[in-house]
A and B are shown apart, each in its own frame.
Chain A
Amino acid sequence: MRDLTNEILELVRLTSTNLPPDVEYALRNAVEQEEPGSAARGALETILKNVELSRQNETPICQDTGTPIFYVYHPEGWSTRKLRQQIETAVVKATQLSYLRPNSVDALSGKNSGNNLGDSHFPSIHFEEVEGDALVMQLILKGGGCENVGAQYSLPDSTLGAGRDLAGVRKVVLDAVHKAQGQGCAPGILGVAIGGDRGSSYYASKEVLFRKLDDANPDPQLAALEERLTQEANQLGIGPMGFGGKTTVLGTKITGLHRLPASYFVSVSYMCWAYRRRRMVVRGDEILYE
């Protein structure tokens, strides 16, 4: 089996220091929406300067390099035990090279491990065996500010008048955006999962964040809701950093999971504007980074 440690290190470097083009494009469009001279516009301009500088100097876009969350889709024949070791080695190296901040602390004592390793949940790694000949490794670096404003609702929610249908989903997602205010480093991106159990629902709400900002949901009902939620979230007037303004959310991505008849969860993973997610495709000797 091929050793991918150096390639994974490159994936981490790229993710931490180089914002994906679709996100940068969305931020550039957002600048034009905000009033000249406003704090909102100033915030977005600073953000874009920072994006350029991080790419140029290969330094982290945000100092909170978050939980490294890996989703690995591998063909038959790969050892997930060895892949885990390679990911861990790459993460330690990335920390030494200051691409990652030492971010893993003991749950009870708060002691920092210093190298971004911890128990079997840090970094967070998910494996799935898939058909075909390509190994795909996706990485998202999700910081604490935005993770803390994530929310899970159990429908019906009588306070919000949210029933067990897409109209109810719409209400609770808007509530989550309002509660987040600027705390999650708006403008944010919403990953939404409907259904599942509490655990699978949150998991899926993060996995859906790997979609491109400008793609369309294949389900026309969900596609319509994604567009509507982005538009309505932007009517809340929270704006970049919560300074007030027109850009609160850059995009919404929704997925559905089979659920128990008794349960109807809606999980919202709020991703900050520093939407650091990258993908590496390994096919034979060929490595492709996206």
Chain B
Amino acid sequence: MTDKRYIKLAHGGGGQLTSELIEQVILPALAGPQKPGRLADSALLSANGPIAFTTDSYVVQPLEFPGGDIGKLAICGTVNDLAVCGATPSAISMSLVLEEGLQLDLLKRVLSSAGAAAGTSGVEVVTGDTKVVERGGVDGMVINTSGIGRIADECDLGFDRICQGDAILLSGPLGEHALAVMSQRESLSFTADLASDCAPIHELTGALVSELGKDVRFMRDPTRGGLAALLVDIAEATGRDIEIRQEAIPTNKTARAAAEMLGLDLLVAANEGKLVAVVANSAAERATQILERFDICDRPAAIGHVGTVSQTPLVEMVTLIEGRTVVQRPYGEELPRIC
């Protein structure tokens, strides 16, 4: 008797079990309105104008965590990579590498959550692949997604557009993804009331670009390396100093407490549903108001400004006590496999 509750090597063998898996599990969860009658080897898409194209692999452990799972993360991560380039995400590919013995129910949950996230993001999963590797070959499952999106005409983003005096906006409190995942890790015994912020941010980026046009200079989502790594990247790429104010940075109490327990700095903790936008200072207030319209933005704020060109560009933070510290890119592997 074969146990139908688990993934077997034969599910990736290209035979009958593979077809069953695709037809009965994967397609129902992922296929959009234009459900393909037959599965072609490639998705055929038409495009005019500049296209953004991105790819990312997801290896988070545990596969399910408060606020999301690897499926939702794999869609949102790629949608967000497109969105911060000013693109409207349209099509996504999804490749699954499954470990022999993975629970079929878990796979169904993950795929259904990926399907729901794709729906929310307005993208279609148009092509994909499934492989099964022997037990131990991967840890449960790995998902790779690639995505494309059309870049809006009014959009002109890049490090080279960042000017002195530009405002740096953050869409909400820091670190919730990293801490939600860490709190689920077996080795951590505390139970924090924390959920990942995992969410698509294409509506935020879309609204900023369409309403503010070229006043939006640069956007990125502060994932691995957190806000700190992102700001250091900006400082290094532009050769400019950056100053942020700690009191302006939104954080949540539980995240702060969990970070303190773990010895983590919220500035370097990963987020999966936040946006950092550099906008012309004259547009900062409007940009904040635009962000406030969205549910996933909690206390969006201008947290600092871009300074002058410097030989040794630094990100400095004015602390809560009005002291000054330097913000550095995190060096480490302190938080492996959180996305």
| Chains A and B bind each other | no
